[in-house]
Structure 1
Amino acid sequence: MKRNVILGLVGLLAVSWLAAVNDMVSIPKKIKEHIEKAQIFEEKQIYVDAVDEYQGALEYDKGNVELSLKMAEDYLAYGEDSKFISTCQSVAEANQSDTSALNTLMEYYKDNAQEDRAVRYLKSFTKSYPENENAQKWLKKLQGTYSRIYCQYAQLSGLYNDSMVVEEETESGVLYGVADIEGRELAECKYKEAHPYSEDGYALVLRDNDTYAYVDRDGLARKAPDECYKDLGLLNDDRVPASKDGKYGFLDENMEETTDFSWDAVSSVSNRLAAAQKKGKWAIVNQNGKAKTDYQYDDVVMDENGICSNQSVFIVKEGKSYHIVSSKGKDIGKETFDDAKAFNKDGYAAVEKNGKWGFVDVDGKLVIDCQYDDALSFSSGYAAVKQDDAWGYIDMENTMAIEPGFALATSLSSEGTAAVKLVNEDGEIWQLIQLSIFE
């Protein structure tokens, strides 16, 4: 009896095993049947049912990338874009060695002018999977894509401290104000003259009664020097360059004199450093006007806001050539240049040799050969360069991130925006752009 029971159990196990084997053999057949049915539905453009068939096939082969992407394409075919995207994302994240899902998703974003969404996803993806080379390649490829930001102003300046001077034409003439990196008004366009906001948080304006004032980011006047001071500059490091009776010196944040007014010219202060000129020669000075070098330089390179000491180094001219020096006047590097533009707060400075522009770092090393028709110094990882009468942007590896196509271009803000001039059938217009990689 016992032997019969054992034999019975063995028989049942054998039957179960045979059934399992038969099921395993039939699985590829079932997958094939689902795929064939899906293809028939696709030919009839019945994509909802085609999706159901692919889902049925995936029940037997859950990790099949090709089936998952066919299903994703059918989602897209009947307007379920969100399901297409989520499917591609899930497949890409679950199959790091397979590039097809991520490539499919990126091409979708490109075809639909949604590079900003692509960049946002890639940033999240590369954070989770930093070793994924395909994602890194896509991020590099999309870095130069940009969107346009609506801006109401006819004229824009370069961005400085995430602000820019804007102008409006009125019946009484051109008036100036200050806007932020998205074109929102900070200081109303009602001034005869305006400057961007400084590191200390104030913008210099010239009012309609020909008096200067410094306004805060609410557009309210907060500081005003006596009328005897002219040619004021940015308020940085609690110092203001100004002139009185034809000579220059520095005021403090309370608009009180902190130095003698004995120079022929001075720069704005940055990093508690500046430059001052006497009898045609320039010296490096500190914020209190104390000379740190002899008056030996024929010129000191300044940016459009009168600053020459970003990154605490200077580009000076002696004789016919320019070179880099420290705050104490010590030569940095051996390179000399025919012309140069001041360093911004970060990145390389633009320099010129033999009519072409390249870039130098703060150690005086020529890091990008002189090859462009014109250039601006780097800011926020990018620099505007000119080729064949058009401006574009390169990254710090000298890769053309945005192909030349602008009539003029300016430096990028910390948030990846820039003011550019475009040419269209209506003439030249100024536009704010936003690089997708910063969004």
Structure 2
Amino acid sequence: MVENDRVLVLTKNHYNFADLEGNLITKKPLSDAEDFSEDLASVQFKENGKWGYIDIKGDLKIDTLFSIAYEFKNGFAEVEIKTIDTTKSVKDNYIVLTPKFYDCIINKSGKIIDTIEYIKTKRNFPLIGSANTNTLGKINRFGDTIMQKKYRAFGYPQGKYMWYKTEEKYGLADTTGTILIKPIYENLTYFSKNGLAVAKRNGKYGYINNKGDIIIDFKYEDARGFKYDLAPVKINGKWGFIDESGNFKIKPKYEYIIGNFRKLDGKTEQLYEYSEE
């Protein structure tokens, strides 16, 4: 999007802004950035991971003090400031830190106009890094890095398992960061209650368990998770429902299906169970 005659671009795994002649305006690499608004753009610098604001020349106008920074509207912008409460006691040789966050309104000089304090829900396995540059990692609640910053995405933990994604492929890890299944799948879902996950390999869908064993062969054009012991799959252009052995209980004869198999007049239930941390 062109704003203030500047366009947001991605070059060599980092963001920048270019003018209409293609000249880049910032010299420092950006992990992330938003479009210009009212002559300022919020940017995240790689060197400290914080957000600030630059002008159309690329000069820093509001220092990188924020964990999140949004666009200016009518002379004001919403930002988030993070502080750490270190007054907690030492437990199990770790200092338990409680992050505090302040939702603030700033003006174009960077002055805070209004502030609201809140404490975010504690996460056992927070993310670090940036998905935009394939540099996501995972830490545990003590701050130890369990997965290095080289991934595109992570799923929420299901017990001790979680899927991860590199730039192109999916795999499975446990919550210690141990790789259980190498990144070999083009897609990988959460596990259903029966312990099976939909996976895609070489353009076809099948079902695996958390050890990577192939339980139902990769032969479907599309597939979804199990619910009430049945899963919808598409083969030869038609949808049907299979059981956990891969046998069709409802033959493939439908052009399209909506959702998953469920009991008549049954309550809407979550297909996959996982921790939202």
Asked whether the two chains share a fold, i.e. TM above 0.5, the reply is no
Higher strand content, 1 or 2: 2
Provide the TM-score with structure 1 as the length reference: 0.30
Q: Which has the higher contact order (CA 8 A, sep 6+)?
A: 1
Higher helix share: 1
With the length of structure 2 as denominator, give the TM-score of the two structures: 0.45
Greater Rg over alpha carbons, structure: 1
